[in-house]
Amino acid sequence: MDTIAESVRLLFGGDRELWGIIFISLNVALLGLVLATPPGIALGYVLAMRRFRGRRTLVVVMQSLLSFPTVVVGLVLYLLLSRQGPFGSLELLFTQEAMVIGQAILVFPIIVAHTVSAVQGADARAHETAVSLGASPLRAAVTLLNETRFALMTGVVNGFGRAISEVGCALMIGGNIAGVTRNITTAIALETSKGEFAQGIALGVVLVVLALGINLIMAVMQGEGGMK
Amino acid sequence: MSVLLALARLRKSFGDRMLLDLGELVIEAGQAYVITGDNGAGKTTLLRILAGLEPADIEGLRIEGVAHNGAQVSRQIVYVHQHPYLFQSSVARNIAYGLRARGIDGVKRERLVEEAIAWAGVGHLRNVPPSKLSGGEKQRVAMARAKVLGPRLFLLDEPTANLDGEARAQTIALIRQLVQDKNSLLIACHDRELIELPGTRRFHLENGKLTEV
């Protein structure tokens, strides 16, 4: 009971360390999402609409990345960003920037897969109508993506879900440095390993509330979309 | 009348099956044509090819005397689908879509949209979500969306299919108006009233060949 009471106090007592961790998590996850979403949607659209050499390979790579263990992404990035690695001179290892890159890589295939699915599932007349009315290929693409916006939003929300909840990549390339790269998941892992459950529970509650809130927003938006 | 569209030859096959094998086809400017033919004869495919939506083996396509390939025609020819697709916005924005694509500015665009809305009699539907419209209302909005662009050629694919009563009559009235205003139209249809519309000429499509009757 004491642990629960302490976690409630941390959450609602304005604990600076706890809210700092939450801010880092949101900041890194959202920036990763912003970085991955435009190219993810663009690649997904091309994969859905065009037939070209290597398309099948790209689809297989994207599908494989969907289920890639986050620690493996972290390991690869670690090797690339460490001092001896090809990008070591950038000195990104154990920074939020490295975590953003890692989360963007994790989110990217999710955005691609949802976009492929949304565009392939769209009414074929939507794109044809745009073209017949004189839209350029770019305008027709934007129109079709706009027509599938609710399906695309689901991809973005799923991407955010993966970014905010993954621990392996953030731990390996962030280093779990207090006040710098310690986010919700790495903090929970650390506190639990020390036997300090209060902060872990408080942060776990935040994660669950975030997940529920985002899905609630999605449900409302999809409801509005369905009424159109 | 001057020649709007002329093509020397058009062939389209699906696998081993030759669906269309047309010799010379000439569409005169300001003339309306109906295309009749059995289901599966290739009427829709022909319209889609002319709209640049379907690839085909085309020789010698000229529009107003200028040589084109099949993919370059979308700003001069507008295809209206049998079951028109309306974008998930308002009726007014649907009608404005092609004007935006052409970079026509706000004031002029609004005036043209208002004229098209009035022409099609869909003013009361201006802000209604397209999913709330009936089949006849969608068809009239799609006709307005095409007319507002002032295309060289309208391609209407079975415009009265699945419509009956007043919706069908309203759609036919709009097409009659387009014919009377000397627009160029190519209409694929089975509808007896459209086939016998005054001022139209008739092609019949059978076994891949198009003949004027």
pLDDT digits (tens, 9 = 90+) for A11-47: 788 788 889 999 999 999 999 999 999 999 999 999 9
Residue of B75, B87, B89, B104 to mutate, testing the A interface (most A Cβ within 10 Å of its Cβ) = B87
**For residues B144, B137, A225 and B105, what is the CA-based torsion angle, rounded to 10 degrees?**
20
Q: Tell me the shortest Cα–Cα distance from B80 to chain A, in angstroms.
A: 8
Query: Where are chain A's structural domains?
Result: 2-227
* Residues contacting A40, CB < 8 A, separation 6+: A107, A108, A109, A110, A111, A112, A115, A155, A159
Greater confidence (A178 vs A214) lies with A178
Residue of B72, B76, B82, B88 to mutate, testing the A interface (most A Cβ within 10 Å of its Cβ) = B88
Confidence check: pLDDT of A227 > 60: no
Position A224 scores a pLDDT of 58
Greater confidence (A224 vs B22) lies with B22
Query: Where are chain B's structural domains?
Result: 3-87+139-212
**Residue in chain A lying closest to B51 (CA):** A132
* Whether B212 contacts B37, CB under 8 Å: no
Contacts of A128 in chain B (CB under 8 A): 53, 79, 81, 85
Cβ separation of A227 and B129 shorter than 8 Å? yes
Contacts of A134 in chain B (CB under 8 A): 74-75, 78, 98, 101-102, 149
Confidence check: pLDDT of A225 > 80: no
Position A160 scores a pLDDT of 92
Residue A226 — pLDDT band, cuts 50, 70, 90? very low
Residue numbers in chain B where pLDDT is lower than 70: 69-74
* Backbone Cα Rg of chain A: 20
- Which residue in this structure is represented by tokens 């159109």? A228
* Residues contacting A222, CB < 8 A, separation 6+: A150, A153, A154
Interface size, chain A vs chain B, as Cβ–Cβ contacts under 8 Å: 59
Cβ separation of A128 and B81 shorter than 8 Å? yes
Going by DSSP bridges, is the β-strand pair B66-67/B9-14 parallel, antiparallel, or unpaired? unpaired
Q: Is A1 exposed, middle or buried (0-12, 13-18, 19+ CB in 10 A)?
A: exposed
Option in B52, B81, B131 nearest A228 (CB): B131
Confidence check: pLDDT of A62 > 70: yes
B98 to chain A, any CB pair closer than 8 A? The answer is yes
- How many helices (H) and strands (E) would you count in chain B? 6, 13
> What is the mean pLDDT of the segment spanning A77-103?
95
> What is the mean pLDDT of the segment spanning A177-205?
91
Confidence check: pLDDT of A67 > 80: yes
Please give the CATH topology (third level) of the domain spanning A2-227.
Answer: MetI-like fold (1.10.3720)
Helical segments of A67-196, H only: 70-81, 96-121, 124-132, 137-147, 149-165, 168-174, 184-193
* Whether B192 contacts B181, CB under 8 Å: no
B87 to chain A, any CB pair closer than 8 A? The answer is yes
CA B185 from chain centre, in angstroms, equals 7
Cβ separation of A134 and B102 shorter than 8 Å? yes
B75 to chain A, any CB pair closer than 8 A? The answer is yes
CA distance B123 to B120: 8
Option in A131, A136, A143 nearest B87 (CB): A143
Option in A125, A126, A131 nearest B74 (CB): A131
Contacts of B78 in chain A (CB under 8 A): 132-134
Q: Tell me the shortest Cα–Cα distance from A115 to chain B, in angstroms.
A: 18
Shortest CA distance to A96 belongs to which of A199, A24, A188? A24
pLDDT tens, position by position, A101-149: 999 999 999 999 999 999 999 999 999 999 999 999 999 999 999 999 9
B74 to chain A, any CB pair closer than 8 A? The answer is yes
| Entry pTM | 0.88
Q: What is the CATH number of domain B3-87+139-212?
A: 3.40.50.300
